Amino acid sequence: MTQKIFCCLFATQLKKNTLILQKRNVQVSVIGGASDIGSYVSLFLKRNSKVSKLHLYDDDDRIKGTELELSNLPGGPSVSAFIGDTNLEQAIHSSNLVVMVSRMPRKPGNTREQMLGANAPLIQRLCKAIAAQNQEAFVAISTNPINYLIPFASTVMYKYGCYNPSKMFGITHIDTSRSRSFVAKALKINAQEIQVPVIGGHSDKTIIPLFSNLTPRNYRIEPCQADMLTRLVRKAGTEVVMHKHGAESSTLAMAWSINEFVDIILDAILGYRVVVNCYTANSNFGTKFFAGPTSVGPHGIIQACCHFPMSEFESYLLNRCIPILSREVLEGEKYVEFME
């Protein structure tokens, strides 16, 4: 009898361990790991029980210091650093998820659009490495200008013959984080309790928070508040750039939001169906790429963002956004020719 109970307990423990092993069996590469955003994201991931291996890549050899520091911390995934162009392929090899956080931050007075020339070469190198070594990976990019760079990356991958639209994501979760925070402040409620879908793109004229779809439904944003909050969300990144006097753009809020996005995508990789705000291939709104709540599973995107009921103000913003976004998508795609 005692033996039976012991066997039962042992089997339960074994089952638990197997589950934990399965849970932790995800490898993530952070490209740009030596940057401030990259370091914070890596620190968050060191605490993430779903990750078993963390690969940090940067051209800057201080990435070795980040690796050493993270390896000083007990538990969590194993951490390896990879430095320089020749090691990029190794850095992304076998990873389930490749997260690109590397970028040239914008200076005060610059728009995100002006960062295209500075940041496109990094994305091109990454796409080349993914095409050579890891075509199955989920690829998530937070580099600006996202509206252009996801179409750019998609075209590069297409040229390499390995474009998978259901695994290519622009990380726009920051706009959801900001929308929730600002609404919570305006209504004096807890941001954790609420959700705000944000659609469009990631720039001053294309971010469209749908405050009329705020949940839970018992909270309500008046039309004049919606106008003010939309301006706040659209300008939030530029405000940070100005206040940091050109040293950097938003790092803490970006890292926090990238981490939240990554954590949700890890659930998808592990087999769950999740919904996350991101910018992806999506023709439901008349452009080729569009941001919004997206349903994702273990093989990538299941359902791109669809239409929501909207207030008059939100429909007006959407009508103004579409021609801008369509032009930016086209310019992003065309930029590939410019790089050759």
Enumerate the active-site residues. 202
Residue of minimal Cβ distance to ligand LMR: 237
The residues that bridge with 199 in the sheet, in sequence order, are 208
Query: For residues 26 and 30, which CB has a smaller minimum distance to ligand LMR in the complex?
Result: 30
Cis peptide before 74 (omega within 30 of 0): no
Q: Among 164, 250, 259, 280, which residue sits at the site for ligand LMR (rule: CB under 6 A)?
A: 250
Q: How near is the Cβ of 202 to ligand LMR at its closest, in Å?
A: 6
Q: In this chain, which stretch among 1-9, 42-50, 235-243, 275-283 interacts with ligand LMR, using CB under 6 A?
A: 235-243
Binding status of residue 280 toward ligand LMR by CB under 6 A: no
**Contact with ligand LMR (CB under 6 A): which of 42, 155, 164, 249?**
249
Stretch that binds ligand LMR, among 4-12, 159-167, 236-244, 279-287 (CB under 6 A): 236-244
Q: With CB under 6 A as the contact rule, which of the stretches 50-58, 247-255, 279-287, 302-310 interacts with ligand LMR?
A: 247-255
Tokens of 22: 């399965």
Residue 250, judged by CB atoms within 10 A of its CB (0-12, 13-18, 19+), counts as: buried
Per-residue burial over 262-284, b if 16 or more Cβ lie within 10 Å, else e, is bbbbbbbbbeeebbbbbbbbbee
145 to 164, contacts with ligand LMR by CB under 6 A? none
Instruction: Compute how many residues bind ligand LMR; rule: CB under 6 A.
Output: 10
Selected from 112, 167, 173, 288, the binder of ligand LMR by CB under 6 A is: 112
Contact status: 173 vs ligand LMR (CB under 6 A): no
Instruction: Single out the residue of 28, 116, 208, 241 in contact with ligand LMR (rule: CB under 6 A).
Output: 241
Nearer to ligand LMR, 119 or 280 (CB): 119
Q: How far is the CB of 106 from ligand LMR (least distance, A)?
A: 4
**CB-wise, 50 or 112, nearer to ligand LMR?**
112
Of 45, 58, 77, 106, the residue at the interface with ligand LMR (CB under 6 A) is 106
Spatial separation of the C-alpha atoms in residues 316 and 313, rounded to whole Å:
5
Is 174 a binder of ligand LMR (CB under 6 A)? yes
Among 151, 237, 292, 300, binds ligand LMR (CB under 6 A): 237
Among 42, 144, 212, 282, binds ligand LMR (CB under 6 A): 144
171 forms part of the interface with ligand LMR (CB under 6 A): no
| Backbone phi and psi for residue 234, each to the nearest 5 degrees, phi listed first | -65, -35
**Residue ranges that bind ligand LMR, judged by CB under 6 A:** 106, 112, 144, 174, 237, 240-241, 249-250, 254
